[in-house]
């Protein structure tokens, strides 16, 4: 029993560290995804958007909002992975195994809590990333995550830190279920075939499948969430209003930026799990 308690204390935060490491690598792709999703009319594709950002703002512009991105992962992903790890370990200790439906349930719980905790940093992240493409006179010019949070509270009120949080929570539930619970189920299945073993090839294969499904499940919610978080007061009356406005672009409007979303979420999922699996090796269950 004492070993299990020690394990929980050592491992609950590893998912957040792995996610932050992955986010540092994939941040430019996340920035381009936000730019594409917030276009009212499709004017640029992924490559042309990247070229435009670099040409007009410089190479470092691709890392605008990095502090907010890391803060988001350290709040959002630490919470969702931490809750998932602790609840899964408890079920494992009680039953000796964790059924897939229970992985889905605890993934949803972890995702909901992570989405709520991470919403303020996510809002600042979206705004900092989108700043480079708007006119100088309307830029928010947040210096870093702390400056962004303080200014939102002063200028818009503390509750605006959670603008669009219901969408963020919904997305976080879908991401955690598909990215975490499904990854572990796919990994378990691959290892059970005796063709695969618990190595980096299996981790890569499982994570890319999870990344594809996670992108497909979350894209419509992600588009509306990004629009809500980037909006100025009065732009949208409600989530329903924003959803209907997006629908005017046609069904594909909800999948705007799908390719960059997968280009970002796929590698992030892969890197998160590769980093996390390596951290688990450094901090094994019996340590």
Number of domains in the chain: 1
Residue 27's domain spans which residues?
2-282
Average pLDDT over residues 217-226: 79
Segment 108-118, tens digit of pLDDT: 999 999 999 99
- pLDDT surpasses 60 at 1: no
40-76 pLDDT tens trace: 565 666 677 788 778 877 777 788 878 888 999 999 9
Displacement of CA 70 from its chain's centroid (Å): 11
Higher pLDDT pick, 226 / 206: 206
- Decide if 181 is inside a domain: yes
Lowest mean pLDDT among 38-47, 83-92, 95-104, 130-139: 38-47
Position 83 scores a pLDDT of 95
269 Cα distance to chain centroid: 9
Q: Are the C-beta atoms of residues 203 and 277 closer than 8 Å to each other? A: yes
- Going by pLDDT thresholds of 50, 70 and 90, the confidence category of residue 3 is very low
Residue 70 CB partners (closer than 8 Å, separation 6+): 20, 23, 24, 145
pLDDT(10) > 60? no
Residue 287 lies in a domain: no
State if pTM tops 0.85.
Answer: no
> What pLDDT score does 94 carry?
87
Q: Residue 145 domain-assigned? A: yes
pLDDT at 205: 95
| Structure tokens belonging to residue 156 | 């818009």
What's the mean pLDDT in 22-32?
85
What would the mean pLDDT of 19-34 be, rounded to a whole number?
A: 85
Q: What is the CATH number of the domain that holds 52?
A: 1.50.40.10
pLDDT digits over 125-145, tens only?
888 877 766 777 888 888 889
Domain-located, residue 199 = yes
The pLDDT tens digits for 179-190 are 999 999 999 999
């Amino acid at each position: 029993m004492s070993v299990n308690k020690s394990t929980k204390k050592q491992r609950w935060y590893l998912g957040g560290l792995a996610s932050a490491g992955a986010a540092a690598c994939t941040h430019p792709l996340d920035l381009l995804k936000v730019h594409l999703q917030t276009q009212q009319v499709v004017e640029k594709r992924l490559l042309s958007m990247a070229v435009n950002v670099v040409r007009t703002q410089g190479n470092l512009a691709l890392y605008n909002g990095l502090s907010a991105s890391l803060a988001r992962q350290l709040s959002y992903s630490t919470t969702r992975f931490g809750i998932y790890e602790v609840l899964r370990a408890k079920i494992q200790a009680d039953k000796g195994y964790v059924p897939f439906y229970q992985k889905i349930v605890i993934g949803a719980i972890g995702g909901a809590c992570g989405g709520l905790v991470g919403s303020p940093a996510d809002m600042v992240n979206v705004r900092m990333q989108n700043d480079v493409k708007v006119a100088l006179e309307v830029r928010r010019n947040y210096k870093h995550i702390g400056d962004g949070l303080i200014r939102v509270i002063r200028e818009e009120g503390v509750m605006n830190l959670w603008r669009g949080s219901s969408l963020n929570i919904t997305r976080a539930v879908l991401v955690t279920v598909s990215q975490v619970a499904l990854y572990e189920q796919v990994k378990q299945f691959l290892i059970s075939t005796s063709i695969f073993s618990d190595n980096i090839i299996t981790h890569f294969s499982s994570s890319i499948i999870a990344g594809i499904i996670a992108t497909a499940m979350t894209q419509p919610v992600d588009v509306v969430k990004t629009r809500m978080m980037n909006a100025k007061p009065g732009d949208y009356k409600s989530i329903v209003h924003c959803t209907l406005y997006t629908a005017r672009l046609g069904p594909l409007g909800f999948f705007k930026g799908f390719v960059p979303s997968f280009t970002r979420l796929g590698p992030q999922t892969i890197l998160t799990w590769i980093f996390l699996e390596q951290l688990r090796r450094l901090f094994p269950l019996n340590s």
